[in-house]
Structure 1
């Protein structure tokens, strides 16, 4: 169980769902261990959050466990989306813990947002990778082209194929480079997503690998942890769904610890904004 996620499912405002998919990882596998590691390395965090003057255990979080994957990735994503959609139908916010980034497709499918705000080292705008359109390297493209997301903001992207950069030049994509991220995040205000429903996704490889080495495709010159934290805080009040993905078991827990802390930051920020306290 995610620490502090003690609310019964029927009364929950937020529902943690693990999605340990590890089917299309292209360099260092191990995302199947991500959900368990995120739970484990979140055990040391204090329940009380000083900034929002709230206790995580009092915010209505339930841990529904993992949705175990199988070989048929499209079928698994459909099933996962159905599980997450049931959370949304009950008026709760799904908190998806991956697993490879492909699982974001299910989260977006479930909540049907206007905008996808994603932290990622990679553009993930490929039409296919190794002949597979349902690959972690294609997930943002699939959300735009197949699920009808109006726009995607990719924060921290610093690599991609030539074709991906061409796709990123289209009007429905905004790329915020790591060197521009601090100023872009600081310029966000309460009106930045005011007219949109948002899905917020954090690929842990958006952070510099000095902070998050336990991930499949490391890319140097990345984001700082506080930058990602502040983006999550800004997006949370407008977000109908959240995920953190691409954590594997190839470090000493740094990536999982960051992932768990970001999940908690999302809940604290969204709950406090809903209560009219801290934005």
Structure 2
């Protein structure tokens, strides 16, 4: 495996630890999320090391790439193992950077970090109790996150079932539609976990994803959210990149991961 470009720190010295999670078991439309971690790493090779906004070099920010946690048939056992691995990252005072894989892997990230708030860029509400009899479907992630976090903020959502929208009307969920995202201001009390489902982007920006939804976010709007939320975060993931495009989704995912690290390290 070729590590994420610039992730050159030793594990013992790392402030950020990247773990790939190529789970691809419940995708309900376009499969291929198993290729996401590899594509994100590969398509990041064209980026400059230096970030002018924060006056920092990615290679100086102590990022370590710990490779992939390969999945197997039992999803709950896989999530348990992945949770333990990410919890170990936090125990070493480092921030876990999880790269999927389908959105289900986010459940492990949230369980490991145990945040007060779950913030997600996503085209979908993901508040189902199950899909096709599967309680660990990619469409159940926000519901599972709310078993740990006190509240969820879903940015860019534009699709969901009637039951999901009824659940979202509860006081512990805030849904910000795409047109309102540029004016959204973070307001957090306590720790935060940020999940980027690449399908929050409009398919014209990132077509390589499992369930594309038109009328989505621009890459700049997603960047601004990541920059604003990152300083509050104890964990991050980017998920649902697949191999169904010419690299647009992976490029965006890789860039947003770097933006998270730059903004988190800078504190602004």
TM bracket, shorter-chain basis: over 0.9
Name the structure 1 match of 2:210. Answer: 216
Name the structure 1 match of 2:50. Answer: 48
Q: Distance between the aligned counterparts of 2:12 and 2:167, measured in 1? A: 42
Q: Distance between the aligned counterparts of 1:201 and 1:153, measured in 2? A: 10
- Please list every run of 5 or more consecutive structure 2 residues that lacks an aligned counterpart in the other structure: none
- CA positional deviation for 1:142: 1.1
The one of 230, 242, 249 equivalent to 1:255 is 249
- CA positional deviation for 1:143: 1.2
Name the structure 2 match of 1:162. Answer: 162
Q: Distance between the aligned counterparts of 2:28 and 2:223, measured in 1? A: 27
**SS, match of residue 149 in structure 2:** coil
Name the structure 1 match of 2:234. Answer: 240
- CA positional deviation for 1:203: 0.2
Name the structure 1 match of 2:13. Answer: 11
- CA positional deviation for 1:137: 0.4
**SS, match of residue 256 in structure 1:** helix
Q: Distance between the aligned counterparts of 2:64 and 2:144, measured in 1? A: 29
Name the structure 2 match of 1:121. Answer: 123
The one of 70, 73, 76 equivalent to 2:72 is 70
Name the structure 1 match of 2:39. Answer: 37
Q: How many residues align?
A: 266
Does 2:170 align with 1:176? no
Q: Distance between the aligned counterparts of 2:195 and 2:220, measured in 1? A: 16
- CA positional deviation for 1:196: 1.5
Name the structure 1 match of 2:151. Answer: 151
Q: Distance between the aligned counterparts of 1:87 and 1:110, measured in 2? A: 9
C-alpha RMSD of matched pairs (Å): 0.6
- CA positional deviation for 1:207: 0.4
Q: How does 1:256-271 map to 2 (within 5 A)?
A: 256-271=250-265
- Please list every run of 5 or more consecutive structure 1 residues that lacks an aligned counterpart in the other structure: 274-278
Does 2:219 align with 1:225? yes
The one of 91, 94, 99 equivalent to 1:92 is 94
